[in-house]
């Protein structure tokens, strides 16, 4: 019960999920892994995303986590089946959680989805929503400029508003009443997105949704940390630990910062083992 929750993201965006988890489960310790050396996952192939997600799973599992939360939408979209097959602790992903909440909240049955190109291209939210309620109509929009805009800190600029207007047009035309923020960075653009969509539209933060599901799962399995336990958070990144504190504040709030450490990820050199088909390795001088 005192074991930490494992949270995995391709970078630091998953810290918005950590924030939601800490709000929902203040006694739980969190072991976070952000794969900053290899982000972003949003433009990688499914096979690569699955490989990296499994590596992250085993890495956090070696630290003794009692559950594995996939905060990265791309990984949640592409690697959930693989993870559920390989894992020996509960695995929860933002996509399923976000879809369940959207299906519960939509009134008119028209749901919009915003995400990276990989998330939208995978049609993962359509599939998850269709499985929950086949009558729900989905309008999806890939928003590849949102992440760099957030990382630039341009949360409330005219440029950001203009980009949002372009990206959200198909969702407005489809008349959606509920919009899933299908990327960890997008909650930081909530105000601009809400304004462009109109006040009547519900925005679903997939991170908030998964945090509630984690709480329910831990409760039902009697895995919750004792009330009043003092949590110990650890933040592990595969690159640039020294920039973590500076960047993490955007997503997390500084009071939550725990121990931060870089993972030594000196891969064994793959180039040394690879020989092109039909060629022999030339001798090095």
> What is the layout of strands, in order, in the sheet containing 5-9?
91-93, 67-70, 5-9, 30-34, 234-237, 259-262
Cβ of 27: how many Cβ atoms within 10 Å? 15
As measured in angstroms, the least distance from the Cβ of 112 to its own copies is 20
As measured in angstroms, the least distance from the Cβ of 151 to its own copies is 7
Indicate the Cα dihedral angle 19, 207, 162, 248, nearest 10°: 30
> Nearer Cβ to its own copies, position 72 or 128?
72
> Nearer Cβ to its own copies, position 191 or 261?
261
Q: Which two tokens mark 136?
A: 């729900």
As measured in angstroms, the least distance from the Cβ of 281 to its own copies is 6
As measured in angstroms, the least distance from the Cβ of 263 to its own copies is 6
Catalytic residue among 31, 52, 71, 72: 72
The site for its own copies (CB under 8 A) is made up of: 36-39, 43-45, 48, 51, 55-56, 58-59, 61-64, 88, 144-145, 147-149, 151-152, 158-159, 162-163, 166, 239-240, 261, 263-272, 274-276, 279, 281-282, 284-285
Q: 118, 49 in Cβ contact below 8 A?
A: yes
Judge whether 183 counts as a catalytic residue. Answer: yes
Cβ of 163: how many Cβ atoms within 10 Å? 20
Q: Which two tokens mark 33?
A: 């892994």
> Nearer Cβ to its own copies, position 194 or 240?
240
Q: Which residues does 134 contact at the CB level (< 8 Å), separation at least 6?
A: none
- List the beta bridge partners of residue 110: 137
As measured in angstroms, the least distance from the Cβ of 57 to its own copies is 9
> Nearer Cβ to its own copies, position 56 or 113?
56
As measured in angstroms, the least distance from the Cβ of 241 to its own copies is 9
CA angle, 57 then 61 then 62, to 5°: 120
> Nearer Cβ to its own copies, position 199 or 274?
274
Judge whether 124 counts as a catalytic residue. Answer: no
From the list 53, 25, 18, the residue with the least C-alpha distance to 39 is: 53
Q: Counting Cβ atoms within 10 Å, is residue 256 exposed (0-12), middle (13-18) or buried (19+)?
A: middle
How many CA atoms does the CB half-sphere of 51 hold within 13 Å? 6
From the list 60, 63, 62, the residue with the least C-alpha distance to 71 is: 60
Catalytic residue among 183, 193, 201, 248: 183
Say how far apart CA 258 and CA 243 lie, in whole Å: 14
> Nearer Cβ to its own copies, position 61 or 110?
61
Which of the residues are catalytic? 72, 183
């Amino acid at each position: 019960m005192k074991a930490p929750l494992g949270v995995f993201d391709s970078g630091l965006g998953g810290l918005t999920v950590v924030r939601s988890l800490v709000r929902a489960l203040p006694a739980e310790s969190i072991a976070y892994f952000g794969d900053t050396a290899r982000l972003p996952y949003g433009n990688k192939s499914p096979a690569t995303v699955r490989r990296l997600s499994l590596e992250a799973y085993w890495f956090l599992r070696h630290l003794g986590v009692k559950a594995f939360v996939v905060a990265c939408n791309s990984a949640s979209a592409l690697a959930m089946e693989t993870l559920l097959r390989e894992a020996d602790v509960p695995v929860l992903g933002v996509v399923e959680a976000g879809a369940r909440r959207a299906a519960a909240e939509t009134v008119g049955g028209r749901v919009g989805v915003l995400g990276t190109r990989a998330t939208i291209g995978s049609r993962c939210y359509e599939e998850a929503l269709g499985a929950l309620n086949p009558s729900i109509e989905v309008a999806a929009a890939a928003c590849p400029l949102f992440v760099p805009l957030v990382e630039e800190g341009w949360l409330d600029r005219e440029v950001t508003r203009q980009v949002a207007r372009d990206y959200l047009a198909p969702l407005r035309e489809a008349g959606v009443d509920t919009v899933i923020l299908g990327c960890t960075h997008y909650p930081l653009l909530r105000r601009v997105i809400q304004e462009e969509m109109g006040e009547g539209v519900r925005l679903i933060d997939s991170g908030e949704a998964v945090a509630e599901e984690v709480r329910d799962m831990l409760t039902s399995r009697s895995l919750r940390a004792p009330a009043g336990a003092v949590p110990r958070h650890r933040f592990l990144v595969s690159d640039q630990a020294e920039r973590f504190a500076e960047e993490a504040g955007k997503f997390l709030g500084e009071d939550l910062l725990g121990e931060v450490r870089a993972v030594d990820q000196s891969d064994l050199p793959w180039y040394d083992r690879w020989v092109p088909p039909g060629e022999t390795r030339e001798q090095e001088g």
